Structure 1
Amino acid sequence: MTTDSTYTYQQIARAIEHLTTHYREQPSLSELAEKANLSEFHFQRLFTEWAGVSPKKFSQYLTLEHAKTRLRNGAPLIDAAYDAGLSGTGRLHDLFVTIEGVTPGQFKQAGSGITLTYAVFDSPFGQYVLGAINATTVGRKIALLHFLHEDDNPETILTAAWPEASLSYDSDLLQPFANQIFPASDNTVSGQAPQPLSVLLRGSAFQLKVWEALLKIPEGQLASYDQIAEFIGQPTASRAVGTAIGSNPVGYLIPCHRVIKKTGLFGGYRWGAERKQAMLGWEAARIDGN
């Protein structure tokens, strides 16, 4: 089922795809509006409501020079965030995420009676399926956040990721998680910091180390695959780092979208290049707007 917010993202994504493909030609507002099937007036308003900045300003965040500047500034901030024990330094969506990592064998040994509760929710970047493990051995922890393409079957995705688990749909149970991951408002209740989100990840020791490193990239900043490899103490493993990033099972919360090529090119993304570009521009707009 396509909701209004999902349709809005789809319209924006078409314009972003055209914008990032043709940014050197500086596409006009009328070109972008045509890609979104909207009038210029409605497109400008819709885009600005979604991104917080105009399409012209947004395009500046997606240029090669802007990406290179973010890369140059990113490494010290990664270290600072790591030293402070924070997942990031951004004000708006600085989610406190704690990882519990287990190897497949370890989880299988303690995996009897696993139930994977799931539901489909909206986000600024389209619909996603959220899954949480609920077992006496681990408590309730987020185990999967997978952005959906048009023809995706959520249950097929969940079963492929957690074949041992039985599935249970319960949007009410997971709604508090969804509210915290993509809050309707940027303001925290009574100025309080968000409660930590606990994530259960199943992967090799190398994958877990890479995924944990991604949490150190502050919102609005970028890191290269080489920088992540250096950060985890394996400077020659940038290709393996890329493979581990590509298999991240928890999109957005573990921000693999903030890792790009050292040349400044954004590169691919498990959930679509235009979604990665949308995330990076959206975060940059919010950071610069603080």
Structure 2
Amino acid sequence: MTPGEYKNGGAGLQIHYSLIPGPFGDLLAAATDKGICFMRFSDAPSAALDELRAEYPNARLIGQETAFHRQAADIFRTRCGRITLHIKGTPFQLKVWQALLDIPAGSLQSYGTVAQAVGSPNAARAVGTAIGQNPVALLIPCHRVIRESGIIGGYRWQRGRKMAILAHELGDTDDV
């Protein structure tokens, strides 16, 4: 994960995007020449594309698949491997997202545990906010974080989808 050096709404960036079909719904993925910078579940492709445009209003957007998109699509088949990300965020957000990347597939952690992992044990709420602003669905596994009580809480892209992803990671549904 490399921090993005985005300024002025992505001015000077060329971002390629494509739709990736997946077992939990289609994803709109976008990448710079350095890595994936944006990935959203795309129940309405035009809405996801509008989100990409809003996130990078001054970037040049090109509807074309790249090797980074194919790499991201492989997550459904291999459940592992390295994916190159090129994302923007505050230093705190980047620490939280890195902590999420360290949670193994099929494992769950609480917001408080993630807060401790980033060296801010009293910042569970701020961790939740950072998780909610995750720029790349699935690749940064925000779905692996649950409430302290063990309850699977909400998910930006539907609670049922979060539960299906977790079940798949736990091995309950190999043929999704």
1:257 equivalent among 122, 137, 143: 143
- How far is the alpha carbon of 1:155 from its aligned partner? 2.1
| Map of 1:10 onto structure 2 | none
1:53-97 CA distance string (max 9 Å, x none): xxxxxxxxxxxxxxxxxxxxxxxxxxxxxxxxxxxxxxxxxxxxx
Aligned counterparts, 1:44-193, within 5 A: 99-102=1-4, 106-108=5-7, 112-134=11-33, 140-150=34-44, 152-171=46-65, 175-183=69-77, 186=78
1:205 corresponds to 2:98: no
Answer whether contact 2:93 2:130 (CA < 8 A) is retained.
yes
- How far is the alpha carbon of 1:274 from its aligned partner? 0.8
**Alignment root-mean-square deviation, CA:** 2.4
- How far is the alpha carbon of 1:163 from its aligned partner? 2.0
Answer whether contact 2:111 2:128 (CA < 8 A) is retained.
yes
Letter in 1 for 2:132: G
1:76-119 CA distance string (max 9 Å, x none): xxxxxxxxxxxxxxxxxxxxxxx0014xxx4228x653111001
Q: How many residues align?
A: 173
| Map of 1:216 onto structure 2 | 102
2:154 equivalent among 256, 263, 268: 268
- How far is the alpha carbon of 1:287 from its aligned partner? 9.9
TM-score (norm 1): 0.55
Answer whether contact 1:118 1:174 (CA < 8 A) is retained.
no
Q: 1:178 to 1:199 in 2, by over 3 A?
A: closer
Larger radius of gyration: 1
Q: Give the secondary-structure state (helix, strand or coil) at the position aligned to 2:52.
A: helix
Letter in 1 for 2:29: L
- Structure 1: which 4+ aligned runs deviate by more than 3 Å? 172-175
Answer whether contact 2:68 2:84 (CA < 8 A) is retained.
no
Q: 1:152 to 1:268 in 2, by over 3 A?
A: farther
The percentage of aligned residue pairs carrying the same residue is: 40
- How far is the alpha carbon of 1:182 from its aligned partner? 2.3
Letter in 2 for 1:132: A
Distance 2:153 2:27 in 1: 22
Distance 2:71 2:157 in 1: 21
Q: 1:250 to 1:175 in 2, by over 3 A?
A: closer
Q: 1:107 to 1:170 in 2, by over 3 A?
A: same
Distance 2:26 2:151 in 1: 26
Distance 1:182 1:132 in 2: 18
**Which consecutive unaligned segments of at least 5 residues does structure 2 have?**
none
- Of structures 1 and 2, the one scoring higher in RCO (CA 8 A, sep 6+) is 1
Answer whether contact 1:142 1:199 (CA < 8 A) is retained.
yes
Aligned counterparts, 1:2-81, within 5 A: none
Answer whether contact 1:246 1:270 (CA < 8 A) is retained.
yes
Distance 1:244 1:142 in 2: 18
Distance 1:211 1:235 in 2: 16
Q: Give the secondary-structure state (helix, strand or coil) at the position aligned to 2:105.
A: coil
Letter in 1 for 2:157: W
TM-score (norm 2): 0.88
